[in-house]
Structure 1
Amino acid sequence: MRKLSLRTRLLVLTAGLLLAGLSLISAVVSHQLEQYQLNRLDSQLRSFTQIIAQVSPNGPQPQQPARPQLLDPALDLIGAPYLAYLDANGAIIGTLRSSRVAAASFPTDAELQKLPTDGSTMSLPAANGSGRWRALARPAVGWSGTVVAAAPLTEADATISQLRTSSLITGAALLVLLTAVGWWALGRGLRPLRRIEHTAAAIADGDLAQRVPGIAAPRTEIGQLATSLNTMLGQLEQAFTDRAATETRMRTFLSDVSHELRTPLVGIKGSTELYRMGGSDADEAMSRIDREATRLTRLTEDLLLLAQLDEAPEGQLDRTPMDLRTIANDARHDLKALDPSRPITLTGLEGGVPGPAAVLGDEDRLRQVVTNLVGNAIAHTPPGSPVRIGVGTSDGHAVLEIEDRGQGLTEEQAGRVFDRFYRTRGSTGLGLAIARSIARAHDGDLVLRTALGAGSTFRLTLPVLSASDSSGQQLSGPVLSGQADVGRVQVGDGGDAE
């Protein structure tokens, strides 16, 4: 069975509640009116029987001739068309009846004899079953007997029946009218939901740029729903865009990896083939194979390190308290050893003396970062051009920066310089990608500030070592002292450059 629409279900529920409410109101009004009619009639019967019980102190005179022309109006006036006298044994010894009421419509004698004499009223059926009577019995005053007065409920029952019929007709008409108005109102109220449905259908068909229009005031439930949906749709679109970009980068990365791995493998295979054909001697062939194997090993290790940093960066670090001034001082010696003609200066971040920059880091990994930055400064700036190394703290971070006076990069190149295997000026490598991953593994970052023709500044920022981290420990390494180990700096294919 097909489920009803939300509009239909709401309308059925509302109509059901309305029908129940109208029925309850009709029942309450009918009951109250009926009680009012009975109470009014009971009051008349009590007053009448109280008077009649004292009228005939010597007992009734049943043989007196009836005078309908006088009796009927009198009985109608007091609202009791039937009056009966019962002796001490309960036998009826006299009655007064309205001639306007059929004899068969009066209550039976047996029903009258069952009435209690405590003054309480009862409803009795007519002898012919045509209606009901309201009757009351009261002991007579001055003689041993009972006076009974009864009045028909025909008029009261007719009033109640007419009220119920009118309530039914009016309620039905009102229910139909309100149902029609409710159908129209629900249609207008649910129109924003249909627009949301159409938007969702368009998105399901692949149009991720669709958004729910401003269909209601922002503070209404529908308006808040539309705002939330638009926020969610924006996030979904961005997620799909990011996924597509990630897939594109992955394909590019795999293509670059394949190319980079193929180059040394082709060199190794070519050297072996050349040696086999007698085109080179063993020493020359082995030298070429060793060079390509070293290049292949370095590339493989870089790829493995990147994968490890992506998967579990914290697990690749052995952190100890240290000062970045140690690494900065060693970088100055490395630059001087690689290019003695360069003016190398070691300063603070704003000039002057280098400031303290205590961090909790893996010294070997951080040296790898700085070594890569030194290699880039040597490889991609003119010989003899100056390089400045700055170290200190800024905004709660320890900072080490290397500034050169090279050619610089364009905005597009600067935005991609940390991409894996990004090629610029013929250089290919993973150095800067690894350097940034190491920095971020330390909860820091590595950024580039550059402009074409204005040189470049690589800036390494790390969290400053807190007092709780440094308590009981000494900073590792000498600060601004010691000889540089020149051999650990290799300039070449180890990193991306300007």
Structure 2
Amino acid sequence: MRSPLHLLSLRLRLLLLTAALLLAGLSIVSAVVTDQLQRYQLNRLDTQLRSFTALLAQAPVLRPDVPDTASLAMFDPALDLIGTPYLAFLNAGGAVARGVHSSRLDEAALPTGEALRGIPADGTATDLGAADGSRWRAVARPTVGRDGTVVAAAPLAEIDALVARLRTTTVISGVALLVLLTAAGWYALGRGLRPLRRIEHTAAAIASGDLSRRVPVVAAPATEIGHLASSLNVMLGQLERAFAARAASEARMRTFVSDASHELRTPLFVIKGSAQLYRMGGLTERADVDEAMHRIDREATRLTALTENLLLLAQLDDAAEGHLERAPMDLRTLATDAGHDLRALDPSRPVDLTGPGGIGPPGPAPVHADEDRLRQIIANLVGNAAAHTPAGTPVRIGVGTADGRAVLEVTDEGPGMTADHADRVFDRFYRTDRSRTRSGGANAGLGLAIARSLARAHDGDVELETDLGEGACFRLALPLLHHPETGSGR
């Protein structure tokens, strides 16, 4: 079960805790001061009593055989002066043989003889009680030259009154101090917690949907609240980016599902339409049947290629590394084969093999990669150049090392792309020309997306440099394979 304190505000809880600690501290200080004062007063009184009894133990003035003359009367004004208003002589039997007390004291206020007999005669201070309930302090010593005991006693009324006044004073001053400090603490806590309230307001605004809000600078960065504000701002930035990324991902997913549905629906409609036409008897001639079967086969092939590409992308998204069979190889071999493939696609197209950037001859580019997947990447890049440039447009294939990476470039002198198209060309199902005739699944807008996913699975990437009217350069960059002994590229 939760404590009722949890229902209070943090400010009030801190104030109650502080007030409780302050009250405990004041109480302890008051008790210690009062106890020390009482001990001091008692020690001072005990010293006086011991000194006086030591003197009287050797003087004959209180012995009963000494006449009660003016020598006794002179003690009356002196008793109050020396702080010992009652003196008594006890005989060997313990009875009070003679006693002298201040004229200010009533007989009823004096300690009883029985109480005096119980005092040890070794000078130890003892507390006594009187008939009227008052408290006394007494010291006893044996007399010199005759059996008997001298007792000096003093009431504790003044000491008790002094201690009581001190207690009252400390209680009143402590209460006043507690009230004053509690009020000051309430104000100080209010100012100290003000940054937390501003953080609370910021959090409420963020909870209502304003993810761009940040915690204001409410304290010095070196303070706890400053650290909290800084950490919260970092967290809020990450949350905003995460929400933005999720929104963008959801938008891409909706676009992907829409495009995938459209791409899958088109060949299915062709296949279904051709089958229905045949079933209804609309294909009466053998040539019509052959043409319908050709369309069905073409669309089925396109549908198969599209499905396999989608499956490959899903596998790469899930665990790309698990679908690679790496082995040492050189990108020069793939660049040479790509040049042959491009010439076979368009014999009229000039194809040059160079180093990266068109500088020098092809150079070594050793990598540790899956050769079949790299061939798939380069086939997509070469096919993209062939499909999006006019026939006969020159293409350069550069291979070698640049900036510590193995590089293979496919550069054309075609129409190029705008910055908007270049930013989205690697998106799935994105095509710069959506009116382009689709054939065999090659133009579904997945080729470059697959190429980049495969490159990143190899810890590399596919980059694009292009400008409208300036052609396009697609660059495959992969980590170099280093020699196990020298660490240099082979």
Question: What interval of TM-score do these two structures reach, taking the shorter chain for normalisation?
Answer: over 0.9
- In structure 2, what residue type is equivalent to 1:418? F
Check conservation: 2:413, 2:472, Cα contact below 8 A: yes
Separation in structure 2 between the aligned mates of residue 98 and residue 54 of structure 1, nearest angstrom: 22
**1:362-406 CA distance string (max 9 Å, x none):** 111100100111111111112222211111112332111111111
Separation in structure 2 between the aligned mates of residue 58 and residue 318 of structure 1, nearest angstrom: 122
User: 1:478 maps to what in 2?
Assistant: none
- In structure 1, what residue type is equivalent to 2:98? G
Query: TM-score, normalised on structure 2?
Result: 0.93
- In structure 2, what residue type is equivalent to 1:463? P
2:322 to 315, 321, 325: 315
2:338 to 302, 322, 331: 331
Separation in structure 1 between the aligned mates of residue 319 and residue 69 of structure 2, nearest angstrom: 122
- In structure 2, what residue type is equivalent to 1:92? V
* Structure 1 stretch displaced more, 459-468 or 190-199: 459-468
Check conservation: 1:444, 1:462, Cα contact below 8 A: yes
Q: Which has the higher contact order (CA 8 A, sep 6+)?
A: 1
Check conservation: 1:347, 1:353, Cα contact below 8 A: yes
Seen in structure 2, the aligned counterparts of structure 1 residues 469 and 363 have a Cα distance that, compared at 3 Å, is farther
Check conservation: 2:60, 2:66, Cα contact below 8 A: no
Separation in structure 2 between the aligned mates of residue 460 and residue 75 of structure 1, nearest angstrom: 115
1:430 to 446, 454, 474: 446
Query: TM-score, normalised on structure 1?
Result: 0.91
**1:349-373 CA distance string (max 9 Å, x none):** 1411211111111111100100111
- In structure 2, what residue type is equivalent to 1:34? Q
Separation in structure 2 between the aligned mates of residue 60 and residue 79 of structure 1, nearest angstrom: 24
Seen in structure 2, the aligned counterparts of structure 1 residues 469 and 415 have a Cα distance that, compared at 3 Å, is farther
Q: Report how far residue 272 of structure 1 moved.
A: 2.0
User: 1:444 maps to what in 2?
Assistant: 460
Check conservation: 2:429, 2:445, Cα contact below 8 A: yes
User: 2:441 maps to what in 1?
Assistant: none
User: 1:217 maps to what in 2?
Assistant: 220
Q: Report how far residue 58 of structure 1 moved.
A: 9.5
Q: Report how far residue 69 of structure 1 moved.
A: 6.5
* Structure 1 stretch displaced more, 278-287 or 431-440: 278-287
Separation in structure 2 between the aligned mates of residue 146 and residue 70 of structure 1, nearest angstrom: 21
- In structure 2, what residue type is equivalent to 1:176? V
What pairs with 1:236-255 in structure 2 (closer than 5 Å)? 236-255=239-258
Separation in structure 1 between the aligned mates of residue 63 and residue 123 of structure 2, nearest angstrom: 19
1:22 to 13, 22, 26: 26
Q: Report how far residue 458 of structure 1 moved.
A: 0.5
Q: Report how far residue 57 of structure 1 moved.
A: 8.2
Check conservation: 2:406, 2:479, Cα contact below 8 A: yes
Separation in structure 1 between the aligned mates of residue 355 and residue 187 of structure 2, nearest angstrom: 75
- In structure 2, what residue type is equivalent to 1:330? D
Q: Which ranges of structure 1 fall in alignment gaps of 5 or more residues?
A: 476-498
Check conservation: 1:80, 1:151, Cα contact below 8 A: yes
Q: Which ranges of structure 2 fall in alignment gaps of 5 or more residues?
A: 437-443
Is 1:465 equivalent to 2:481 in the alignment?
Answer: yes
* Structure 1 stretch displaced more, 277-286 or 445-454: 277-286
* Structure 1 stretch displaced more, 293-302 or 345-354: 345-354
Separation in structure 2 between the aligned mates of residue 141 and residue 409 of structure 1, nearest angstrom: 129
The size of the alignment, in residue pairs, is 471
Separation in structure 2 between the aligned mates of residue 147 and residue 237 of structure 1, nearest angstrom: 94
Identity %: 66
**1:27-52 CA distance string (max 9 Å, x none):** 11111111111111111111111111
What pairs with 1:140-155 in structure 2 (closer than 5 Å)? 140-155=143-158
Separation in structure 1 between the aligned mates of residue 203 and residue 62 of structure 2, nearest angstrom: 96
Q: Report how far residue 4 of structure 1 moved.
A: 1.1
Separation in structure 2 between the aligned mates of residue 367 and residue 253 of structure 1, nearest angstrom: 26
**1:417-452 CA distance string (max 9 Å, x none):** 000001212353210111111111111111111111
Separation in structure 2 between the aligned mates of residue 392 and residue 52 of structure 1, nearest angstrom: 121
Separation in structure 1 between the aligned mates of residue 371 and residue 423 of structure 2, nearest angstrom: 28
User: 2:472 maps to what in 1?
Assistant: 456
Is 1:420 equivalent to 2:428 in the alignment?
Answer: yes
Check conservation: 1:61, 1:94, Cα contact below 8 A: no
Separation in structure 2 between the aligned mates of residue 318 and residue 233 of structure 1, nearest angstrom: 41
User: 1:489 maps to what in 2?
Assistant: none
**1:286-320 CA distance string (max 9 Å, x none):** 11111111111111111111111111111211111
User: 1:344 maps to what in 2?
Assistant: 351
Q: Report how far residue 67 of structure 1 moved.
A: 7.9
SS at match of 1:429: coil
- In structure 1, what residue type is equivalent to 2:141? R
Is 1:75 equivalent to 2:79 in the alignment?
Answer: yes
SS at match of 2:90: strand
SS at match of 1:467: coil
2:237 to 234, 237, 256: 234
User: 2:439 maps to what in 1?
Assistant: none
